[in-house]
Amino acid sequence: MIPKDEKKRNSAAFLADGTDVPAEETDFSLEEILAEYGAGREQQILRDVEQSVCPAPSAEKPTEETKMPPAMPPVREGVPEIPATAETERPRQGASLHAEAPCELFELEKELPKAPRPISLEEVVGSTVDAVMEEHREPLLQRPRGLFSRRRLEETEELYAPPQPEEEPQAEPVEPEMDPWDASEQYRSEYHRRRGGLLAAAVAALVPSVPLLLERQGFLIPVWSGDIQLQTMVLLGCLAVVALLCRSVFAKGVRMLCRKRCTSELLISLSAILTAGDCVMRLLEPGRSATMPYVSVSALALVFALWGDSRESRGRYDTFRAAAMDDEPPYLVTETGRGACKQRGELPGFYTAAMRDDAATLWQTVLLPVVLMASLVFAGLSSLGQGRGADFLLNWSAILASGATFALPLCWGLPFSKLAAHLQKTGCAVGGWLGAEKISRKKSMILTDADLFPPGTIQLNGVKVFGEEMRKATSYAATMARAAGSGLERLFDGLVRSEGGHYEKADDFSFFEEGGWSATIHGESVLMGTASFMRKMEVRMPGNINLKTGMFLTVDHQLIAVFAVKYNPAENVDFALRMMRRSRIMPILASRDPNITPSLLKRKFYKGVKVEYPNLTTRVALSEAEKDRGLPRALLFREGLLPYAETVAGSRRLCKAVRRATLLGLLGSAAGTLLSFYLVSMGAYSLLTPLALEVFLLLWTLPVLLMTEWTGWY
């Protein structure tokens, strides 16, 4: 047994350094240290409780009769039970003897209340220890953690949550779509119906302008000049005829309003209604200003709106007629992160893209409500605000006719119909504004080997074999070309068939930035690439071979075959590259053939060709994008680079023309609204005549017509 003085010194050492290991005893095992520390706190509590229950121990040696079995400490929840060892038994026996020696059992029973059964000392001590432990629970948890503490380590440092995986972009939902053939038939009938009434509406709209022009030149028209009632009735009749022929304009304005779209058709329809009301006011109200109603302006606006609507129907008819050529088009054009890409896909999704709102409609929806409300406010200020209430409809019809310009209905329909007609002849179709904007946004196109050198333009001028059979050389070369997925696959496929070879299994295939490929075939290391690649791979080359576009094949670093490959330029590819240069579209060269480089393109095509040549990893990834299946933004029914380039270049021209035309139309609308408000507020109706307003609006329409023609110049 350890002496009491030495035990106190060890306890003091424990309290000084905060560990369970006494300073003098450094040879204890880990189990003994854990047992010593785990029982230390409970033994201290037991000694305190026993001293409070029993008097101080006497110096006499305890007798055998007073000895009792040692009390077991209660098992705390969450603390594992420690097996009894020599170190744990020693303090427990000391505590038990210390409690038993001076304490008499009958004295304890006198103090305890009467119970139906006798209560042992260990039960009393156990219940007391439980109460004390409950009171000391928080201090025990807050006690500084020792070096060998068994208490579970608590998290005190706030750790950042692991980053959540990025959600993949959800594919654009494809709603149930109309069959392209049914759609083409629908828009064909609409186009013919609107076109049929266009000429008659134009003639009826020009009738009010003829007498105005003659009177402008100083001619007096019998029966017409000076007869206000006759003039008003004729003008009102011409407006009614034009409105009847252009009833689809009213229908479109209401239909777009139900979709929460405020377009030029709505403003033109309101202008015609206000002009008709002004004609009635001229007949009934003598206080109205003696000026001609703006019937000719509103009638011409209806004609231009009908023209734009008919051209839009024709564009959609040509688009869906081309899309109905095949349910599974050979190629489609879709957008990627680097630009337009030609892929193999399906037709669903094309109708949805073609029916989306165009930029002209979206821009008009934002700005034309402002023009409409401004015209109403300006009409009130220039008439009611000046005490001329009879001129309210006159002023409002003039201001609104100036704001609803002739150009706005043509901003989308004319350029789109021109491009759709051109693409339909070349076997292509673009999916409306959305499709054109998507594929032309990046101003770049991904070109592969087959785009630049289509089948038939790559020829084999000769083969030379070194120490191997021709059959093995062609089999290995065809296997490497197929594994690379380059444009040479078709060339070597014909060669291996003619030589009676067959394709092998290529393992560990790799691309090299230096211009070659490597693989393992039947355990042999095979390399295939250009001459510069072979030199960099330290392959011995014959000195009498000088091929700029040759392909060299080695097995275990031994040259076994040389293939002389010739690349013949195609005229349509050269024209397509020039077209892309004029349209400022950058070709991205995603070739897998090591011979197809920017220097080769400059030798084979015109010297001014410029292409983007990314690194090998990017080229391989971009070439893989051709095998994806994205949403169809445009359809291609012909092979070659030219239809692909025409579709993207034409889409870019279309987007630029629509944006510029819409911007000019909105500027003309704002300028006409402000100018007409100023003139009617000053009462200068002699300057704001219907004929002068027509000329003003026609001048703003001329740039839109020129931009429409510019759409097809690529």
Greater model confidence, 605 or 37: 605
Which of 15-29, 196-210, 600-614, 633-647 is least confident? 15-29
pLDDT category at 57 given cuts 50, 70, 90 is very low
Which of 27-36, 338-347, 404-413 is least confident? 27-36
- Can you name the residues that pair with 558 across neighbouring β-strands? 555
pLDDT category at 713 given cuts 50, 70, 90 is confident
The pLDDT value given to residue 431: 94
* 647 touches 382 (CB < 8 A): no
pLDDT category at 95 given cuts 50, 70, 90 is very low
Q: What is the mean pLDDT of residues 615-628?
A: 87
- Given a cut of 90, whether residue 67 has pLDDT beyond it is no
Fold of 458-567: Calcium-transporting ATPase, cytoplasmic domain N (3.40.1110)
The pLDDT value given to residue 286: 86
Q: What is the mean pLDDT of residues 314-325?
A: 94
pLDDT category at 709 given cuts 50, 70, 90 is confident
The pLDDT value given to residue 40: 53
SS3 232: helix
Q: What is the mean pLDDT of residues 626-634?
A: 84
The pLDDT value given to residue 221: 83
Q: Is 692 exposed, middle or buried (0-12, 13-18, 19+ CB in 10 A)?
A: middle
The pLDDT value given to residue 223: 82
The pLDDT value given to residue 296: 94
The pLDDT value given to residue 24: 45
Q: Within 13 Å, how many C-alpha atoms sit on residue 53's CB side? A: 27
- Can you name the residues that pair with 529 across neighbouring β-strands? 516, 552
pLDDT category at 85 given cuts 50, 70, 90 is very low
- Given a cut of 50, whether residue 6 has pLDDT beyond it is no
Amino acid identity, position 642:
L
- Neighbouring C-beta atoms of residue 161, cutoff 10 Å: 6
* 541 touches 578 (CB < 8 A): no
CA distance 10 to 14: 6
Q: Within 13 Å, how many C-alpha atoms sit on residue 44's CB side? A: 10
CB neighbour list of residue 121: distance below 8 Å, 6 or more residues apart: 68, 71, 99, 103, 105, 108
- Given a cut of 70, whether residue 507 has pLDDT beyond it is yes
CA distance 106 to 109: 5
- Given a cut of 70, whether residue 400 has pLDDT beyond it is yes
CA distance 109 to 92: 24
- Given a cut of 60, whether residue 661 has pLDDT beyond it is yes
CA distance 373 to 400: 10
CA distance 550 to 535: 14
- Given a cut of 70, whether residue 129 has pLDDT beyond it is no
CB neighbour list of residue 626: distance below 8 Å, 6 or more residues apart: 341, 342, 343, 344, 446, 448, 590
CA distance 558 to 161: 55
CA distance 697 to 479: 68
- Given a cut of 50, whether residue 63 has pLDDT beyond it is no
Contacts 24+ apart (CB under 8 A), 71-77: 71/46, 71/96, 71/99, 71/121, 71/122, 71/125, 71/126, 72/122, 72/126, 73/42, 73/46, 73/126, 73/129, 74/126, 74/129, 74/130, 74/133, 76/133
Domain coordinates in residue numbering, the chain: 4-142, 181-443+636-711, 458-567
* 448 touches 628 (CB < 8 A): no
The pLDDT value given to residue 169: 44
The pLDDT value given to residue 146: 37
Greater model confidence, 94 or 453: 453
* 664 touches 390 (CB < 8 A): no
- Between the alpha carbon of residue 500 and those of residues 494, 510, 554, 579, 594, the distances in Å are 10, 27, 20, 43, 26
- Given a cut of 70, whether residue 371 has pLDDT beyond it is yes
pLDDT tens profile 155-199: 444 434 444 544 444 555 556 789 999 999 999 999 999 999 999
pLDDT category at 219 given cuts 50, 70, 90 is confident
Supply the mean pLDDT for the chain. Answer: 81
CA distance 316 to 431: 9
Which of 48-52, 220-224, 479-483 is least confident? 48-52
Q: What is the mean pLDDT of residues 230-248?
A: 94
Q: Is 2 exposed, middle or buried (0-12, 13-18, 19+ CB in 10 A)?
A: exposed
* Residue whose structure tokens are 């931009």: 707
* Residue whose structure tokens are 């015609």: 272
The pLDDT value given to residue 612: 94
CA distance 541 to 531: 8
CA-based nearest residue to 263, from 144, 450, 150, 405: 405
* 309 touches 409 (CB < 8 A): yes
The pLDDT value given to residue 104: 44
* 74 touches 26 (CB < 8 A): no
